[in-house]
């Protein structure tokens, strides 16, 4: 396969994997926390939080990218703070592409995890409490393991969504070769350049393989973690 893809194309695939994996791993705990709060807590503003989490799903991705630019750009409130405090700049960097991918993947991840948390029988948590478990211990030993299939499903969906992320990425992180030009951006760029048909086709095949791989891997993980009782597909 190394002769099949040239070095530039390998670099694009590697960058895409790096961006998507970082996006999923950083978003995962945030998404699970949000999913738990929305599933288990009743408070004023819960609907607003739920709607805000789902916003990236319904907004034009370009608008999400622009909002990220406003907030996380060098002169944006969050961006300026990050740069002044930690010396971190996200805009036009691969980390910015990961941020855009993570934000776009968030609603899908929250949704999958929330459903699995809601499916955990609360009576089991009551039983755990009477057996001596604190709220936190009951969460760790009951809710968390029983919602693993949802975590795996959410991670898979988030990874696939991150791999495909285009609109918010190109708006926020731009299309910089070697830095933010992920698979979809490279395919889009290739389509603008005459004579790139074969490269576009090869990258498209890679995209299909990676997405299918993510799907099958998550299915395997879910079946394994649930002793064959749950599945994604």
* Distance of closest approach, residue 133 Cβ to another protein, in angstroms: 6
Residue closer to another protein (CB basis): 41 or 45: 41
* Distance of closest approach, residue 53 Cβ to another protein, in angstroms: 27
Both structure tokens of 32? 């699970």
Rounded to whole angstroms, the Cα distance separating 47 from 7 reads 48
- 84-123 residues near another protein, rule: CB under 8 A: 121, 123
Based on the shown chain and the rule CB under 8 A, indicate whether residue 228 belongs to the binding site for another protein: no
**Residue where the block lists tokens 């395919």:** 187
Among 75, 78, 134, 212, binds another protein (CB under 8 A): 134
Based on the shown chain and the rule CB under 8 A, indicate whether residue 124 belongs to the binding site for another protein: yes
- φ, ψ dihedrals at 110, nearest 5°: -60, -40
* Distance of closest approach, residue 228 Cβ to another protein, in angstroms: 11
Contact 23, 162 (CB under 8 A): yes
Contact 61, 104 (CB under 8 A): yes
Both structure tokens of 175? 């299309």
| Interface stretch with another protein, choices 22-30, 101-109, 124-132, 187-195 (CB under 8 A) | 124-132
Rounded to whole angstroms, the Cα distance separating 150 from 139 reads 15
- In the stretch 168-187, what mask flags binding to another protein with x, by CB under 8 A? --------------------
Residue closer to another protein (CB basis): 121 or 197: 121
Contact 150, 232 (CB under 8 A): no
């Amino acid at each position: 396969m190394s002769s099949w893809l040239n070095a530039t194309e390998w670099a694009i695939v590697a960058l895409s994997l790096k961006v998507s994996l970082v996006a999923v791993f950083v978003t995962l705990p945030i998404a699970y926390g949000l999913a738990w709060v929305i599933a288990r807590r009743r408070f004023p503003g819960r609907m607003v939080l739920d709607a805000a989490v789902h916003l990236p799903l319904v907004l034009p991705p370009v608008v999400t990218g622009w909002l990220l630019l406003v907030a996380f750009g060098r002169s944006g409130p969050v961006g300026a703070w990050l740069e002044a405090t930690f010396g971190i700049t996200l805009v036009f960097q691969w980390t910015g592409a990961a941020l855009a991918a993570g934000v776009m993947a968030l609603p899908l991840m929250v949704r999958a995890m929330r459903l699995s948390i809601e499916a955990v029988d609360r009576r089991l948590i009551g039983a755990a409490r009477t057996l001596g478990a604190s709220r936190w211990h009951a969460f760790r030993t009951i809710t968390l393991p029983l919602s693993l299939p949802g975590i795996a499903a959410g991670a898979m969906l988030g990874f696939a969504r991150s791999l495909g992320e285009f609109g918010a990425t190109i708006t926020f992180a731009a299309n910089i070769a070697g830095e933010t030009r992920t698979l979809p951006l490279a395919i889009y760029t290739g389509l603008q350049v005459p004579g790139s048909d074969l490269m576009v086709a090869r990258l498209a095949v890679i995209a299909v393989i990676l997405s299918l791989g993510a799907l099958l891997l998550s299915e395997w993980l879910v079946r394994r973690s649930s002793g064959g009782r749950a599945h994604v597909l």
